[in-house]
Amino acid sequence: MSRNNSEGMVRRLDAGDMALRTLLGLWALVIILPLIWVFYTSLKTNQEFFMGAWQLPKIPQWNNYYRAWSQLGIGKSFFNTVILLAGAMILNTFIVSLGCYTLARFDFKGRNIIYWYIIGSYFITGLNTMVTGYILMRQLGLLNSLFGLIVNYGATSIVFNTLIVTAFMKGQPRELDEAAYIDGASYWQTFWHVGLPLARPVLLTINVFNFMNYYNNFIKPLLYIRDPDKYPLSVAIYSMSQAMTYRADWVTLFAGFVIMMIPTIIVYSIFQNYITQNLNVGALKG
Amino acid sequence: MNIASKTRRFFNSRAFFIVASLAPILFFYTLFSVVPKITAFYYPFTEYDGISQPIWIGLRNFMTIAKDADLWSAMKNNLFYWAIATPINFFAALIVSFILVKKPYRENNFYRILYYFPAILPSVITALMWQFAFHGRYGIFNALLNTIGVNVGEFYWLTDAIAAKWAMIVPMVWGGWAGNMLIFMGAIQAVPESLYESAELDGATDAQKLFLITVPVIWETMKTMIFFSIIGLFGAFELILVMTNGGPAGATEVVGTYMYKIAFGAEGVAAFGYAAAIGLILFAILSCISIIAFRFMDRGEAIEMAG
């Protein structure tokens, strides 16, 4: 918003403005109250949990977090998630950056056909592949393995990322590549020493996307992973919640909720501008 | 020339670089994105339990679908959620974005960050949180109602068929509206300031500015958003799967949870062929709606939006 405009309007703060601000405040309360409730509940004892929602913890039970991490198995799932995300992000970045570099910087026969073959998936929105995707993973022997999930994640986010990365790489001058060739660099060296470093901003963007996409994904690991030892966080927390029907250790489960929110909060606070300004398209897509 | 330098020349050739750099993207994309889309047109015509060989049965799955009352009631629920949650998500986002962009309140920047947070939260967390929030005795929802003077006693929202159906709207809005907010804010920021200035001279109210200036100018964006909401009609079902699993008594069953149960559920018999057939029917329905929607928009716009 222009500064000018703000100053012009500040003078006219009136009853209507008070009403609007109250409305925004109430809306903020609706958004944040359940989150705050989850947080202070995670610090209660189970006795306090049964005393009602407004009951605050007398002494914060940080021990709940330790129990969630070690006894509930959040720690193990957290580790699985780290492996899964790191693997899938590296694989996806490798595939996409290498392929898009060639699509953006080289003129060769069939280039447009290949580009539209990949982007064309966009025009088939709404085709449900939940079942056939599962059948494929089964036939490939990739079920119940983190490796299989890594490959699947890395591969299925190619389409959208190709769109962004190719557009970005096309916008960079080819003279830089040519200068490297003149200096005697091979195509591979040029990609590695010129193409990749120049693409760093866009590779960061797609990986912010990738993080949220992979971290939040629930259906795929639910279908593809059977062994609880290999669960990533999203499925682990779900299965723990179901097991709690018998164990009734609610406060520890709530501590698990908070632990699972922490990576999201961290990524959001670091890349907040990226997310709210650059990811318009992604919000449309999701 | 010796063999070593020949091989080096081969690996460093332009042709080899092009082929080798495109091989991974083409391989992974084809295998994991194209193959499931192609087989989505094959398995619907088979009976397949995932273990023995698929058996070609022609249109039999589709004949069963036509008589599957559970499926059609699940589709009706999808429509219900679309018809209720989409407009709420839309108007809440439109009005809040307008205020956030056009009003100079100090707290707006903070709100923009806070409001968007639920949109990036894992849906499984949103679902579990609200599942507990709706708990009759310990949940925050009843406690809140109590605080504002509405006493429903120990009412268990998710175990009552009608209440559960409506209660699901809450997490759908809580976690869903802010995605629209982001798009609206971008669009509203792009509206030329001069349009508002002349309206201000004419003494326009905020509501008039919103509906007579902003909405017409950002109308193209809004149409795109409506189009995407239609495409997502049968999409996300994680919230329901986690919170109610379609229950009680099918009250919140949507196509996604129904398909999931048929293909993977405990009571299911791994009827992959039948589940895939449902997927294909959904695709047919969405395609028809898309074509109608295309008619209402110009082609160029639709293509731009698909990109």
- Across the range A237-252, mean pLDDT stands at 88
Q: Which of A101, A131, A163 faces B21 most closely, judged by CB atoms?
A: A101
Say whether pLDDT at A8 is over 70.
Answer: no
pLDDT of residue B134: 94
Q: Is residue B33 part of a domain?
A: no
Return the DSSP state at B203: T
Contact at CB, B276 and A131, closer than 8 angstroms = yes
Q: Residue B197: pLDDT band by 50, 70, 90 thresholds?
A: confident
Q: Is residue B114 part of a domain?
A: yes
What does the alpha-carbon distance between residue A93 and residue B225 come to, in Å, rounded to a whole number? Answer: 29
Instruction: Name the percent of chain B lying above pLDDT 70.
Output: 95
Model pLDDT for residues B11-25, shown as the tens digit of each residue:
889 999 999 999 999
How many separate domains does chain B show?
A: 1
Contact at CB, B122 and A234, closer than 8 angstroms = yes
Q: Is residue B248 part of a domain?
A: yes
CB B45 within 8 A of CB B222: no
Say whether pLDDT at A143 is over 70.
Answer: yes
Q: Is residue B179 part of a domain?
A: yes
Q: Across chain A, which distance is largest between two alpha carbons, in Å?
A: 75
Contact at CB, B111 and A28, closer than 8 angstroms = yes
Task: Give the residue from chain B lying closest to A216, CA to CA.
Answer: B122
What does the alpha-carbon distance between residue B260 and residue B266 come to, in Å, rounded to a whole number? Answer: 10
pLDDT of residue A278: 56
Q: Which of B12, B140, B256 faces A34 most closely, judged by CB atoms?
A: B140
pLDDT of residue A281: 47
Q: Residue B231: pLDDT band by 50, 70, 90 thresholds?
A: confident
Fold of A67-285: MetI-like fold (1.10.3720)
CATH 1.10.3720.10 positions along chain A are 67-285
Model pLDDT for residues B64-118, shown as the tens digit of each residue:
999 999 999 999 999 999 999 999 999 999 999 999 998 888 899 899 999 999 9
Say whether pLDDT at B257 is over 60.
Answer: yes
Q: Which domain holds residue B115?
A: 62-306
Q: Is residue B213 part of a domain?
A: yes
Q: Residue A41: pLDDT band by 50, 70, 90 thresholds?
A: very high
Q: Residue B294: pLDDT band by 50, 70, 90 thresholds?
A: confident
Residues of A in contact with B180 (CB under 8 A): 283
Q: What is the ipTM of this complex?
A: 0.90
Going by their DSSP bridges, the two strands B55-56 and B46-47 should be labelled as antiparallel
Contact at CB, A135 and B48, closer than 8 angstroms = yes
Contact at CB, A31 and B117, closer than 8 angstroms = yes
Average per-residue pLDDT for chain B: 89
Three-state DSSP state, B2: coil
What does the alpha-carbon distance between residue B206 and residue A268 come to, in Å, rounded to a whole number? Answer: 32
CATH number of the domain where residue B217 is located: 1.10.3720.10
Residues of B in contact with A45 (CB under 8 A): none
d(CA B242, nearest CA chain A) in Å? 7
Contact at CB, A283 and B182, closer than 8 angstroms = yes
| DSSP result, chain A | --HHHHHHHHTT--HHHHHHHHHHHHHHHHHHHHHHHHHHHTTS-HHHHTT-TTPPPSS--THHHHHHHHTSSHHHHHHHHHHHHHHHHHHHHHHHHHHHHHHHH---TTHHHHHHHHHGGGGSTT---HHHHHHHHHHTT-TT-HHHHHHHHHHHTHHHHHHHHHHHHHTS-THHHHHHHHTT--HHHHIIIIIHHHTHHHHHHHHHHHHHHHHH--HHHHHH---GGG--HHHHHHHHHHHHHHH--HHHHHHHHHHHHHHHHHHHHHSHHIIIII-HHHHHH-
Residues 6+ apart with CB under 8 A from B69: none
Q: Is residue B50 part of a domain?
A: no
Contact at CB, A33 and B276, closer than 8 angstroms = no
Residues of A in contact with B118 (CB under 8 A): 31
Residues of B in contact with A26 (CB under 8 A): none
